[in-house]
Amino acid sequence: MPPPPPESADPGLEECLRLLEAVPAAAASSPAFRRHWPSISASLAALSAALASPAFPPSAPLLAPLAAALGALMSAATDAPRLAASLAQLAADARLLATPAPPPSAGAAAGADSGADALISRLRLGSAASRATALEELAGTAAALPESGAVVPHLCRALESGGAGAEHACAALLPLTAASRDASAAVAARGGVAALLAACAGGTPAAQAAAAGVLRNLAAFPDLLPWFRDEGALPLLLQLVSLGTPRAQELALGCLQNLTAGDGDEGQRLKVEAFQEGALACVKDFLDAAAATSRIAVSAQFAAHVAAALGSDRSPTRTEAALALAELCGNSAGKSRHEVEDAVPRLVWMLEAKAVSERDAAARALAALLAASGACRKLFRKDERGIANAVQLLDPAGARGVDRRYPVTVLLAVAQSRRCRKQMVAAGACGFLQGLMTAEVDGAKKLAECLGKGKMLGVFPRT
């Protein structure tokens, strides 16, 4: 039986083809692989076909891990199930490399498809640095991809790897699972609940918050609840409500609410388990602490420091600052609101951000500020970009993952101005509101009625 190639070797295409030819005879003598041989042999056949394709690049980065996997198979150095899964993934990667790229075509949709394919290729086949960069980029653009379901398996793999990759994977899965039930089901089916709970337990503060948000999205679907109970999710979620960052606490609490909101058998069992785990006391402590923290923040003029963080050059920092500002201005006394008026132009600019999570956070903060302060409403009306940017967030195609209630609230706050109403109509709010009213989004009907004043809106029937 030939030995596996040394770790320092840089195997080429010919070496991998040689190993592929030698594997069947070597593996046939190993009882450990007999039960898994059907799936292993199918992967080997797919690998042989892909490597023999003229389109397969002879210096692909796939060759080194392939040679290592084949060497492990021949020496029975790896457990069979894990090796079978590894070979299946390598076969899929090889098929991707052997598929000729389609000719470029015109149109935005074609460009978006090409961008999605490029991201997936970088997630699967690039170096560690390239994969990390692709994950970070995907965290900001996942919800806008036309092939978003295709990236879920790769995000789940990154989630299981831990570290910075898990943080970026959580951030990318957050808008995907908010916008798609299929994406949520795919995450759960690939063991995502366990990996997300691991991120909640040992990830960075940003990863904990994003993971809790993904779990909240998954918990909204009753048929996915058994995964939460099987993984024993409740104790860890309650721990996050008690000890996590404010954002992680909020999202973990939302997950608990979804888990215990159902009336079916699974929902009832989770309610009982939550009660037994001390959920009521935990939630009470959270609410008491939140009220005390808000009073301290106001007295220390903390809101002004949070508003200053909106000028950071890092999108995650700006996002967290906007979410904190929304919370502070929504719950604090009026005396702190004049300290954050300078935040309005920055938040208007953030409505154009590449990351969906940043746009959503900016809309939440603006909704809180404009509802609380006439001065902030005046500043928002003066900014020529404000109305147009807020209207664009009503578009279900261009801003998936944004909670539409908040841009609607922003627009309602200035809808008493005839000039602002004209700007909304000119920006296309009429068409977007039709769909939002059908979906019964809070405030959409009221905003439509406001825009109907002065007969500017002919598409809405009067009753």
Confidence of residue 124 (pLDDT cuts 50, 70, 90): low
What is the pLDDT at residue 408? 94
Asked if 399 contacts 178 with a C-beta cutoff of 8 angstroms, the reply is: no
Q: Residue 450 carries which side chain, given as an amino acid letter? A: C
> For the residues 296-325, what does the mean pLDDT come to?
75
The structural domains of the chain, with segments of one domain joined by +, span 13-83, 126-142+149-291, 300-455
Q: How many CB atoms neighbour CB 133 within 10 A?
A: 14
Q: pLDDT by residue (tens digit) across 265-279?
A: 777 787 787 777 777
Please, where are the H alpha helices in 383-451?
386-392, 405-413, 418-426, 429-438, 444-451
Q: pLDDT by residue (tens digit) across 152-198?
A: 877 888 887 777 778 888 888 888 888 778 888 889 988 889 999 99
Share of the chain above pLDDT 90, in %: 16
Confidence of residue 130 (pLDDT cuts 50, 70, 90): low
Tokens of 210: 């994003």
What is the chain's mean pLDDT, rounded?
77
- Residues near 203 by beta carbon (within 8 Å), at least 6 away in sequence: 162, 166, 167, 170, 211
Q: Rounded distance, CA 15 to CA 63, Å?
A: 9
pLDDT over threshold 70, residue 419: yes
What is the pLDDT at residue 373? 81
pLDDT over threshold 50, residue 72: yes
Burial environment of residue 55 by CB neighbours within 10 A (0 to 12, 13 to 18, 19 or more): exposed
Q: pLDDT by residue (tens digit) across 330-375?
A: 655 444 556 677 889 999 999 998 888 889 999 999 999 998 888 8
DSSP for 49-97, please give it: HHHTSTTS-TT-TTHHHHHHHHHHHHHT-S-HHHHHHHHHHHHHHHHHH
pLDDT over threshold 70, residue 412: yes
Q: Residue 131 carries which side chain, given as an amino acid letter? A: R
Q: Is it true that 126-142+149-291 and 300-455 share their CATH fold?
A: yes
What one-character DSSP code corresponds to residue 256?
H
Asked if 303 contacts 328 with a C-beta cutoff of 8 angstroms, the reply is: yes
Instruction: Report, at the CATH architecture level, how domain 126-142+149-291 is classified.
Output: Alpha Horseshoe (1.25)
What is the pLDDT at residue 216? 94
Name the superfamily (CATH) of residues 300-455.
Leucine-rich Repeat Variant (1.25.10.10)
pLDDT over threshold 60, residue 114: no
Share of the chain above pLDDT 70, in %: 74
What is the pLDDT at residue 462? 42
